[in-house]
Amino acid sequence: MQSVTVRAPAKVNLQLSVGPAAADGFHELATVFHAVSLFDDVVATAAEDVTVSLENPDPTVPLDGDNLAARAAHALAAHTGTDAGVHLRLVKRIPVAAGMAGGSADAAAALVACDALWGTGLSRDELSELGAELGSDVPFALMGGTAIGTGRGTLLSPVLARGEFHWVFAVAEDGLSTPAVYRECDRLRERSGVPVPDLATDEALMAALRAGDAKAVGAALSNDLQEAAISLQPALAQTLGAAVELGALGAVVSGSGPTVAFLVRSSEAGLDVAVGLTAMGLCRDVKRAGSPAPGAKVVTVARV
């Protein structure tokens, strides 16, 4: 029997601009996705049905048909008309409910793994279209690198980015629900009465990425959901406030939070920031990563 292992990256949004809520509750976005070297692995082996297991059990991750990896396998089976099953073993390293799109990474990895295992031969564009129906971050987890996302974040165009970057992630004690953070953003906006600005990609960020200028990228990091995430988890303000003291180039809440991403000068500087954050006792876990990272790809095909 064959097993296919696919690795998919976490993401941080270097820019996350959020438009007004549409009637269906979704928000139009202008975002800059950036893949970082924190990876989940999905190991797919042939099975009767679609089943999921976790290498490290976690009560907050569903093991039934609600798991995004299982949903991806069902979606691919329905799309291609195959009656094959699969067992998906998830090796999760991306923090859960942390704003780093771990579930979406698993969905992307499961699409690529099942496509290889079942020999369904879909193109990357076809997988991306299927992925967009599973979640707004799935197409980017397939693509990796750096990309502008518009619409719900599923319309992607690659960004020219030079150089390598170094990150430290402060993972908060409790997760945040993405829909709850968007609702809080709407509530705060309504209360302030300030009109929502038109969506546009930040030209200073684009220039900084083209130049590979980490200092300028650090200065340009932005996230419209940050205020809402802080409103729901006030301790995040303290974590963000530690950036200057720790010598980071910039800090921003990652996606809908509550992880705070610190951009740092070098891998060594990242170690100092990680030690400092741990000493401050502001977060549950600290992770270090480099970027940009590649999108979901097969890393091993083995006979088992």
Give 3-state DSSP helix, strand, coil % of the chain, rounded to 5: 35, 30, 30
Pattern 254-273, ligand ATP, x by CB under 6 A: -xx-----------------
Residue from 35, 37, 106, 122 in contact with ligand ATP (CB under 6 A):
106
Given candidates 61, 86, 111, 273, which one binds ligand ATP under the rule CB under 6 A? Answer: 61
d(CA 266, CA 273): 11
Chain residue whose CB lies nearest ligand ATP = 103
Residue 172 binds ligand ATP, judged by CB under 6 A = no
Selected from 14, 32, 44, 68, the binder of ligand ATP by CB under 6 A is 68
- Token reading at 28: 């139009």
11 is a catalytic site residue:
yes
Among candidate residues 40, 137, 224, 287, the one labeled active-site is 137
With contacts defined by CB under 6 A, name the span among 63-71, 217-225, 262-270, 294-302 that binds ligand ATP.
63-71
By beta-carbon proximity to ligand ATP, the closer residue of 96 and 196 is 96
10-42 in b/e form (b: 16+ CB < 10 A) is: bbbbbbbbbbebeeeeebbbbbbbbbbbbbbbb
Q: Which of 103, 139, 144, 270 binds ligand ATP (CB under 6 A)?
A: 103
Kindly give the pairing relationship between strand 146-151 and strand 155-158. antiparallel
- Compare residues 13 and 208 and give the one whose CB is closer to ligand ATP: 13
The alpha helices in 119-225, defined as continuous H runs, are 124-134, 138-143, 178-192, 203-211, 214-220
Q: Judged by CB under 6 A, does residue 232 bind ligand ATP?
A: no
Map tokens 């009560």 to a residue. 59
Counting contacts by CB under 6 A, is residue 42 touching ligand ATP?
no
Instruction: Tell me the backbone φ, ψ of residue 276, rounded to 5 degrees.
Output: -60, -45
Q: Does 178 bind ligand ATP (CB under 6 A)?
A: yes
CB-count exposure of residue 174 (10 Å: 0-12, 13-18, 19+):
exposed
Alpha-carbon span 301 to 6, nearest angstrom: 9
100 touching ligand ATP, by CB under 6 A: yes
Residue of the chain from 9, 37, 102, 171 that contacts ligand ATP (CB under 6 A)? 102
144 touches ligand ATP (CB under 6 A): no
Written as one letter, the residue type at 4 is V
Quick one: which of 196, 199, 19, 31 has its CA closest to 101? 31
Contacts with ligand ATP by CB under 6 A lie at: 60-62, 66-69, 90, 96-104, 106, 135, 137, 175, 178, 255-256
List residues with catalytic annotation: 11, 137
